[in-house]
Amino acid sequence: MKILAIAPYLPAPPDFGGAARIYNIFRQLQERADLTVFSLAAPGDDAAESSTAFERLITAQVPLTARQPANLSKRSVQMRSFLSRDSFQRRFYWHDTAQKRLDELLARESFDIVQIEFSQMAAYRTAGKAKRVVDLHNIEYDVLRQAAQNSSGPKRIFNRWEWKKLRQEEEQAWKDADLCLATSEPDAERVSSVTGEECLVVPNGVDDQFFERQPMDAAEPGSIVFTGAIRYQPNADAVTYFVRRVWPLIRDLEPNATFNIVGADPPDEVIRLGELSGVRVSGSVDDVRPWLASASAVVVPLLSGGGTRLKILEAFASGRPVVSTSIGASGLDVEDDKHLIISDRPMDMAQSVVSVLRNRSLAQSLGDNAYQLVHANYRWSTIVDRLCAQYEELIS
């Protein structure tokens, strides 16, 4: 089986959610099929790790990818898209030079499957007889719709306009695909309601050989950790909410507690959170595992988002207790108070975090149950075995 996998940015390093899903699925596919990776790449992107990981990597140079933090170039595209019928997402991801490079590849070679990462990348045409598969990751327009509800001022106006345009583009991308992949049952049901076809659930997973379980004794007392690319607006909003609304309540009860915000490219408003007592903004780190090992609690205070959270699965695999909002835990097959604690109000979240910090037996029980869940249901090898079986059926 020959598979062409199309990515919006280099798969490696797998240092944030989207990249981790792409990297791990592609690596598993490479062990089971003849895989070619076609990826957008921008100036400053280092392709060395991706070139090592994937036997056949083809890049198309573009001005900017989602691996870079927001800059004037990105803001310019956003401003132009506001007056356009096309969404910002489409204008950001689709480039004529990349399309031409993809056309040249497809003119030379034939594939059985073309797997496209993210609905926005479905703007790229794929000539030939290959079955076209779209891996959603999230329902992006819904992420923007939630962001519009939780924002104000110009950001609210932009997101309200953007999500409506993006919805039309995403739904058309699903209809044009031979198969859609979603990370959760709710997302799959929404796609199926639009297409009238089955949408395959391919959940997020975890590399359990990379994220190994750490004993709770290795955790630093009072250490609370959030992990995730902070350039992603829902993550920036999450840590801002936690520090502004939840953190003062925790410090009243646990004056020595610390909160570590671990993730790439924090915007200025998040960097300023590090000026508050007990809060540390690390920025990008080479390896998130030591931060998870040091955590007595991992928090996922998301107010918007879609798909499922790899950050939760990585914490589970590391044996760490998690406190999350309902949105943060959405799409995962978890039970409240068994695998994690779900808290949606500031006081409830503060009390839940403090309970985990103070009650080692509770922390250990949550970590044990979460670890067992990950190993039973969320290993990448098992997930991609099921995906390949579906591909064989699709092309037969």
The better pLDDT of the pair 264, 31 is held by 31
pLDDT digit string, tens, across residues 225-249: 999 989 888 899 999 999 999 999 9
Nearest to 306 by CA among 36, 119, 104, 86: 119
DSSP string of 169-225?
HHHHHHHH-SEEEESSHHHHHHHHHHHSS-EEE----B-TTTS----GGGSPTTEEE
C-alpha span between 324 and 346 (Å, rounded): 11
pLDDT digit string, tens, across residues 214-228: 999 999 999 999 999
pLDDT digit string, tens, across residues 194-203: 999 999 999 9
What phi and psi, each to the nearest 5 degrees, are found at residue 73?
-65, -45
The residue type found at 63 is P
81 neighbors 169 (Cβ within 8 angstroms): no
- Give the mean pLDDT of 140-161: 73
Q: What is the pTM (predicted TM-score) of this model?
A: 0.86
Residue 79's pLDDT band (cuts 50, 70, 90): low
Supply the mean pLDDT for the chain: 92
C-alpha span between 2 and 357 (Å, rounded): 50
CATH of domain 2-205+380-395: 3.40.50.2000
- Give the mean pLDDT of 24-30: 97
What fold does the segment set 216-377 form as a domain?
Answer: Rossmann fold (3.40.50)
260 neighbors 276 (Cβ within 8 angstroms): no
Q: How distant, in Å, are the alpha carbons of 22, 64, 119, 264, 311 from that of 68?
A: 17, 7, 20, 9, 20
In the chain, what is the greatest distance between 2 CA atoms, to the nearest angstrom? 65
DSSP 8-state secondary structure symbol assigned to residue 156:
H
| pLDDT on residue 86 | 76
């096309």: which residue's tokens? 86
Which residues make up the CATH 3.40.50.2000 domain(s) of the chain? 2-205+380-395, 216-377
The better pLDDT of the pair 232, 289 is held by 289
